[in-house]
C-alpha cells in the first residue's frame, strides 16, 4: 500500500509541477532560514557552558556606588583572587585571573616577525582546572605552571610557526623577556566570552615585573577573576561572607571601603546578560536571542502557511479521487496515511532543498552578518539532522493536517459529486492564512525600516565632539616616556595631512575610567564620588571640538601649582548648581591635590550612546604634578581621512625611526565607536534578510494561490464576459480579492508592528520617531509585490476566450 501511496504522490507532484516547485522552494527557504537563525541562537546560548564545572564557575564583579554614581566593573583588584583563595578555603576550590596591563596590544616577536597582539593575558596556573579548552599540544597540568610559559591558540600557532610544531618554541614579549610555548589550545569549537589568543603564566609577572604586587593592589581593578566554588556551595553563601574581606582594613582603602560590593556572576550568563564596565569582549544580548527566535519562528510560520495553502489547493483538486478511494473501501485513516505520505515526500524534498540553500547561500549570509563563527561543515550531523529533519517533518505534518482532516472526513458521496469542491470554511481558512502570512511579512518589513533608521540615528548621532578624521595610535601603558611621546608627537605633526596630535588615557567615545574625587562646596567637602573621567594631554582640545558652555579650555603650557579639570553639564546638575558659570573656579580634590574647574562642556557621549550620560570629568595629565605619564593613546586629527592609507605609511615610518623594533598600531575612532552598534547593525541586517525571505515565501504562496483561484473563477468570468464584462473589468474582478487580503493584512500588521518596535526602541536613550514612511514602506512593498505576483495569472485569465470555459462542466 505504501508503494501505491508513494507512486501516486510522486505522480501528483510531477503533474502539478508548478505548485510542487513553489511549495518545495518556499518550504526549503523557510526551513533553511529557520535553521540559520536557530544555529545563531544555539551558538549564542552555548557560550561558556561547555566547561565541566561551568555551573560552579563564577566571575567576581566589583560595584562601586557612591552617591548614585560609580562603576560596575567586570574586573577586580589584582590581589582579590589569591586573597579569596586564602580567606575562603571552605567555599572556593580555585581562582583564576586574567590580566593584560589594560593596554590595547602586546608586542610579540616570533619566528623573525613582529606582531601586536591585542588578546594576550597573563593567567593563573589553574586555568585548565576551571576552563575546559581542548589542549592539542602540551599538558594541562603544567602548561601554565612555570614562569615564562605561554599557551597559544591553534590560530596563533599557525600564524607564527605555520606547520612547525610550536611546542618548546620561544617568543619575545615586549622586547623584554622570552616566553616558551608550553601548550596549544583549540578554542574554535568552544564559544566563550574569554577573548584570549595567548595565555602567559601569571608567575611570569612576578619575576619580570617585581612591582606588580606592590602599590595600589586594592584600588586598581585590572583583573578579570573567576572562581570555582566547591560542590554544594551556593554563591550566596560566599557573597554573604565577602563582608569580612570588605571591612578588612588591610585590603580596600578607606575611601573605597564603604562603597564597594563584590558579587558573583555565573559564567554561563556573562555573554548574554552582562553589560558591565570593562567587559573582556563585546557580549551578546539576551533580548536579541528572543528577537531572533521570534523572527525564525515567524519565517517558519510563513513557510508552513504557504505549504498548507498550496497543499490545500492541490488536495482540493483531488476530492473526487478521495471519493473513489472511499467508495472502493478506503477508510479515513488510510486516506490520512496517504496524504501524510505525500506530505512527507514534499517535506523530504524540501529538506534537501534546504540543505542546498544552506550550502549555497549561507557563506554569503554569514559574510553579510559579519559572523564567521558558524560554518555549515562544522555543525555536527546530529544537530543538522535534528534541525532540518525535525523542522521539515514537523511543519510538513502540521501544515498537512487541516487539508488531510478536511478531505478524509467527508462522506465518499461528497467526493464523487465533484461540484462540491471547496467548502466555505476552507475558503475562509485560506483567506485568513494568507492574511496572517502577509501580516508577518509586513511586520518584518516594518521592523527592518525602524531598525535601520534607529541604527542610522545611532551612527549619525552627534556625540558632542568630532570623531570624523580622528585616528588613534595606542601606546601601551607606561611603555614610553614623556620624552619619547613628545618626540613621536613632533614627528607625527611633521607628516602632511596631520593637523593636531594629543594624548589620552582611554579611548573617548568607547571606554573611560572612573576616578575618586571629593568636591568642596560652600566650604563643605562633599563625600568622595567615583566619577567617569578621562585623562588628557593639555593639547587635547586642538584635536577635539566640544561645546564649551562656560569658562575656558585647559590652556597649553599653563604652568600652575594645581590641577585643572573640565566637567560636563550633568556634573553641574549633580553637584547642585543651577548654571555652569557657578562652578567655574571651584575645586575637586584627590590624592594628587586640588583640581580647579576651568570650564563646563555641553553633555557629550564619552561612551556608547546606549549609555545614559552621567557626571563626567576631564583631567589634565600634568606630569609635573603627577610624577607619572598616564597616556595610553595618541590621538591625531587629519585634514582628510581619504588620505589615511598614505598618511598611515608615513606615520609608521616615523614611528619606527623613534621606536625601532616595534610596530605601530592604529585605528579610526569612527570604526571603534561604530563597533559598539554591532548588535543593532546585526539586527538591522537580520531583519532585512528575513523580511526579504518572508516576502519571497509569502509571494510564492500567493503565486500558487493566484493560479488556482483564477482557474476556479474561469467559468464565472466566462459567464460575466458573455453578459458584457470587458477584459480590463475581468482583471479588476479577479485581482480585487488579493488586494483585499493584503489590504486587510496592513490594518492588522501596522498597529502590531508599531507596538513591538516602540517596545524595542525603549532600550535606547535616543530614539527615532516611527514616521509615516514605516507604514508606506511595509504596505507599499507588499502591495507592489502582490501586484507583480498575481498580475501574470490575472492578465491571463482576463484576456482568455470565454468559449472553452462556458463549455466545461465544472
Partner 1 sequence: MKSVIQLKDISKSYSTDENETQVLSHVTLNIHEGEFVCIMGPSGCGKTTLLNIAGLLDVPSNGNVLFQGEEVSKASSKRRAELRRSNIGFVFQSFNLIDDLTVFENIELPLVYQHVSPNERKFRVDKIMDRLQLSHKKNAFPTHISGGLQQRVAVARAVVSQPKLILADEPTGNLDSERGREVMEMLTNLNELGTTILMVTHSTAASDYASRVIHLFDGQIVTENLNKGK
Where do we find the cell 525602524? 450
The residue ranges of DSSP E strands in 154-290, in sequence order, are 170-173, 177-185, 198-201, 224-229, 260-266
Nearest approach, Cβ of residue 16 and partner 1 (Å)? 10
For partner 1, the closer of residues 187 and 320 by Cβ is 320
Nearest approach, Cβ of residue 12 and partner 1 (Å)? 6
For partner 1, the closer of residues 126 and 342 by Cβ is 342
The answer to whether 601 and 568 have CB atoms below 8 angstroms apart is yes
Closest CA to 533 of 573, 502, 562, 568: 568
Nearest approach, Cβ of residue 333 and partner 1 (Å)? 8
For partner 1, the closer of residues 319 and 498 by Cβ is 319
Nearest approach, Cβ of residue 442 and partner 1 (Å)? 37
d(CA 208, CA 82): 19
Q: Which residues of 553-568 are buried (b: 16+ CB within 10 A; e: fewer)?
A: bbeeeeeeeebbbbbb
For partner 1, the closer of residues 342 and 805 by Cβ is 342
Q: Could you please report the per-residue DSSP string of 342-379?
A: HHHHHHHHHHHHHHHHHHHHHHHHHHHHT--S--GGGS
Torsion angle, alpha carbons of 32, 36, 38, 42, to 10: 140
* Rg of the chain in Å (alpha carbons): 34
For partner 1, the closer of residues 420 and 602 by Cβ is 420
Backbone angles phi, psi at 556, to 5 degrees: -65, 145
d(CA 467, CA 574): 27
For partner 1, the closer of residues 415 and 694 by Cβ is 415
Nearest approach, Cβ of residue 418 and partner 1 (Å)? 9
Nearest approach, Cβ of residue 13 and partner 1 (Å)? 10
Nearest approach, Cβ of residue 326 and partner 1 (Å)? 7
Q: Which residues bind partner 1 (CB under 8 A)?
A: 1, 4, 7-8, 11-12, 15, 320-321, 323-334, 411-413, 416
Residue 121's DSSP bridge partners are 199
Where do we find the cell 535616543? 766
For partner 1, the closer of residues 331 and 499 by Cβ is 331
Q: Could you please report the per-residue DSSP string of 665-731?
A: --EEHHHHHHHTTHHHHHHHHHHHHHHHHHHHHHHHHHHHHHHHHHHHHHHHHHHHHHTT--HHHHH
SS3 618: strand
For partner 1, the closer of residues 7 and 52 by Cβ is 7
For partner 1, the closer of residues 137 and 318 by Cβ is 318
For partner 1, the closer of residues 170 and 411 by Cβ is 411
For partner 1, the closer of residues 1 and 719 by Cβ is 1
Nearest approach, Cβ of residue 705 and partner 1 (Å)? 22
d(CA 60, CA 245): 13
Nearest approach, Cβ of residue 6 and partner 1 (Å)? 12
Closest CA to 398 of 480, 496, 324, 306: 306
Closest CA to 698 of 307, 293, 291: 307
The answer to whether 488 and 521 have CB atoms below 8 angstroms apart is no
Nearest approach, Cβ of residue 808 and partner 1 (Å)? 14
Nearest approach, Cβ of residue 409 and partner 1 (Å)? 9
Amino acid at each position: 500500500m505504501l508503494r501505491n501511496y508513494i507512486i501516486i504522490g510522486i505522480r501528483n507532484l510531477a503533474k502539478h509541477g508548478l505548485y510542487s516547485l513553489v511549495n518545495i522552494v518556499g518550504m526549503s527557504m523557510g526551513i533553511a532560514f529557520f535553521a540559520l537563525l536557530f544555529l545563531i541562537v544555539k551558538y549564542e546560548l552555548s557560550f561558556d557552558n561547555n566547561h565541566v564545572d561551568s555551573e560552579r564557575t563564577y566571575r567576581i564583579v566589583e560595584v562601586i556606588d557612591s552617591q548614585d554614581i560609580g562603576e560596575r566593573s567586570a574586573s577586580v583588584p589584582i590581589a582579590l583572587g589569591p586573597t579569596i583563595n586564602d580567606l575562603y578555603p571552605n567555599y572556593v576550590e580555585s581562582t583564576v585571573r586574567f590580566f593584560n596591563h589594560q593596554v590595547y596590544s602586546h608586542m610579540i616577536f616570533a619566528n623573525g616577525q613582529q606582531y601586536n597582539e591585542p588578546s594576550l593575558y597573563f593567567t593563573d596556573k589553574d586555568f585548565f582546572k576551571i576552563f575546559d579548552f581542548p589542549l592539542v599540544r602540551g599538558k594541562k597540568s603544567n602548561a601554565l605552571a612555570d614562569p615564562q610559559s605561554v599557551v597559544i591558540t591553534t590560530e596563533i600557532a599557525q600564524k607564527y610557526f605555520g606547520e612547525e610544531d610550536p611546542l618548546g618554541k620561544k617568543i619575545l614579549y615586549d622586547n623584554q623577556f622570552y616566553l616558551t610555548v608550553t601548550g596549544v589550545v583549540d578554542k574554535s569549537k568552544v564559544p566563550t566570552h574569554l577573548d584570549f589568543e595567548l595565555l602567559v603564566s601569571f608567575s611570569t609577572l612576578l619575576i619580570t615585573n617585581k612591582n606588580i604586587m606592590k602599590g595600589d593592589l586594592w584600588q586598581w581593578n585590572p583583573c578579570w577573576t573567576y572562581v570555582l566554588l566547591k560542590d554544594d556551595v551556593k554563591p550566596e553563601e560566599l557573597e554573604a561572607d565577602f563582608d569580612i574581606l570588605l571591612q578588612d582594613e588591610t585590603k580596600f582603602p578607606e575611601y573605597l571601603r564603604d562603597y564597594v560590593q563584590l558579587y558573583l556572576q555565573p559564567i554561563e550568563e556573562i555573554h548574554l546578560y552582562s553589560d558591565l564596565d570593562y567587559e573582556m569582549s563585546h557580549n551578546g544580548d539576551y533580548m536579541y536571542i528572543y528577537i531572533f527566535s521570534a523572527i525564525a519562528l515567524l519565517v517558519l510560520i510563513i513557510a508552513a502557511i504557504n505549504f498548507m495553502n498550496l497543499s490545500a489547493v492541490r488536495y482540493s483538486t483531488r476530492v473526487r479521487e478521495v471519493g473513489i478511494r472511499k467508495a472502493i473501501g478506503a477508510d479515513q485513516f488510510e486516506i490520512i496515511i496517504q496524504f501524510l505520505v505525500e506530505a512527507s515526500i514534499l517535506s523530504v524534498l524540501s529538506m534537501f532543498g534546504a540543505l542546498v540553500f544552506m550550502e549555497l547561500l549561507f557563506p554569503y549570509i554569514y559574510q553579510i552578518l559579519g559572523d564567521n563563527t558558524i560554518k555549515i561543515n562544522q555543525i555536527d550531523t546530529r544537530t543538522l539532522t535534528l534541525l532540518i529533519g525535525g523542522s521539515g517533518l514537523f511543519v510538513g505534518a502540521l501544515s498537512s493536517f487541516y487539508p488531510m482532516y478536511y478531505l478524509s472526513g467527508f462522506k465518499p458521496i461528497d467526493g464523487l459529486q465533484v461540484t462540491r469542491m471547496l467548502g466555505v470554511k476552507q475558503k475562509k481558512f485560506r483567506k485568513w492564512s494568507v492574511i496572517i502570512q502577509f501580516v508577518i511579512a509586513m511586520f518584518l518589513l516594518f521592523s527592518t525600516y525602524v531598525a535601520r533608521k534607529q541604527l542610522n540615528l545611532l551612527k549619525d548621532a552627534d556625540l558632542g565632539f568630532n570623531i570624523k578624521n580622528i585616528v588613534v595610535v595606542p601606546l601601551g601603558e607606561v611603555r614610553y616616556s614623556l620624552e619619547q611621546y613628545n618626540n613621536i608627537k613632533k614627528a607625527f605633526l611633521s607628516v602632511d595631512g596631520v593637523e593636531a596630535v594629543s594624548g589620552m588615557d582611554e579611548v573617548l567615545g568607547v571606554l573611560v575610567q572612573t576616578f575618586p574625587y571629593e568636591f568642596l562646596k560652600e566650604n563643605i567637602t562633599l563625600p568622595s564620588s567615583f566619577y567617569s573621567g578621562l585623562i588628557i594631554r593639555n593639547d587635547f582640545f586642538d584635536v577635539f571640538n566640544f561645546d564649551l558652555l562656560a569658562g575656558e579650555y585647559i590652556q597649553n603650557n599653563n604652568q600652575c601649582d594645581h590641577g585643572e579639570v573640565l566637567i560636563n553639564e550633568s556634573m553641574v546638575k549633580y553637584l547642585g548648581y543651577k548654571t555652569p558659570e557657578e562652578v567655574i573656579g571651584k575645586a575637586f580634590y584627590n590624592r594628587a591635590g586640588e583640581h580647579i574647574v576651568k570650564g563646563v562642556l555641553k553633555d557629550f557621549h564619552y561612551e556608547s550612546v546606549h549609555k545614559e550620560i552621567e557626571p563626567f570629568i576631564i583631567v589634565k595629565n600634568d606630569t609635573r604634578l603627577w610624577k607619572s605619564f598616564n597616556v595610553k593613546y595618541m590621538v591625531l586629527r587629519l585634514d582628510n581621512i581619504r588620505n589615511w592609507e598614505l598618511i598611515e605609511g608615513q606615520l609608521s615610518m616615523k614611528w619606527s625611526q623613534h621606536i625601532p623594533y616595534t610596530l605601530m598600531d592604529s585605528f579610526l575612532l569612527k570604526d571603534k565607536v561604530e563597533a559598539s552598534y554591532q548588535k543593532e547593525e546585526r539586527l538591522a541586517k537580520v531583519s532585512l534578510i528575513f523580511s526579504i525571505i518572508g516576502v519571497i515565501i509569502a509571494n510564492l504562496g500567493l503565486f500558487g494561490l493566484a493560479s488556482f483561484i483564477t482557474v476556479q473563477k474561469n467559468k464565472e468570468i466566462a459567464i460575466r464576459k458573455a453578459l458584457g464584462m470587458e477584459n480590463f473589468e475581468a482583471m479588476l474582478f479577479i485581482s480585487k480579492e488579493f488586494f483585499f487580503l493584503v489590504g486587510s493584512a496592513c490594518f492588522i500588521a501596522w498597529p502590531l508592528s508599531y507596538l513591538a518596535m516602540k517596545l524595542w526602541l525603549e532600550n535606547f536613550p535616543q530614539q527615532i520617531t516611527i514616521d509615516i514612511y514605516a507604514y508606506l514602506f511595509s504596505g507599499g512593498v507588499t502591495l507592489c509585490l502582490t501586484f507583480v505576483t498575481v498580475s501574470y495569472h490575472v492578465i491571463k485569465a482576463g484576456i482568455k476566450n470565454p468559449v472553452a470555459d462556458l463549455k466545461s462542466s465544472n
